[in-house]
Amino acid sequence: MAKIVFLDEYSLGGYDLSAISSLGEYTGYDRTTAEQVLERCKGATVVISNKVYISRETMQQLPDLKMIAISATGMNNVDIEAADELGIVVKNVSGYSTDSVAEATLGSALALLRNSVYYDRYFKNGSYAATSDIFHFGRPISLLKGKNWGIIGLGTIGHRVAYLAEAFGCNIAYTSTSGVAREERFPRKELNELLQWADVVSIHSPLNAKTAGLIGKAELETMKPTSIIINVARGGIIDEAALADALNSDTIAGAALDVFSSEPLPASPLYDLKDPDSLLASPHTAWAADEAVKVLIEGVATNIKNFLLPLR
């Protein structure tokens, strides 16, 4: 029976993992530090990891390791080149979070445009109860309908966001971060042109040499003062210090971030904004709808099953 080790079970939120654990001699760890990886993986045929890094040096010391199952889409937690050289199969799961991330993107835009967090707090902190006014106009409320929505990275998630935003009555355009020209039904714009045009900008591209620091001071200053930007892709694509400055100086109206340059994010100017309501932030949860996590678990189980089948 194959030995299966999961290095960071906590990353799947405490969901039922029996679809995976039933596939072999299973050991699951809530969290694993870099120093613990080698010892915990010894003797394992299959190692599952979401964010724990598995290096060339570690793989070289694991002669029994035949497969690394990534419980995510991103594969930057494994030295892929080394795995290939060592004959270790690496499998990820794609597509499980498309709807979850797309809906989180639309929800962020709606929350920022309607200032939902401000009005929720106004009610809950007693301010509404303390007034005789039926209405309160403390912050502007704006429609999503009719807005220009610019998408950075029109991949699977970008397409889904475009579909949802279009259903709300938005005008859609995109820019390609790969430089690959494809025939799309939405107009393509260069980045600066897109930023000047858009009322809402959402980022759905991978973090790589082309996108690291893609949105900095100059790019933010190109945007409209009434515009908002949303990053649900990868931290590091937006310069966080530049974003804090842009929010503090009213260069743009708002931002929503689900990803950060360092996760968790240590001391940052984003924690001390002049207007905290200009930023909507969440701890990398855009992907984690209940339905999406369950599909991810099934995807990991299927990858392992398909790998182990010829070995039985």
Catalytic residue among 35, 234, 291, 298: 234
Identify the CA nearest to 278 among candidates 128, 140, 96.
140
284 is catalytic: yes
Catalytic residue among 25, 190, 263, 291: 263
204 is catalytic: no
Catalytic residue among 166, 284, 291, 312: 284
291 is catalytic: no
Active site residues: 234, 263, 284
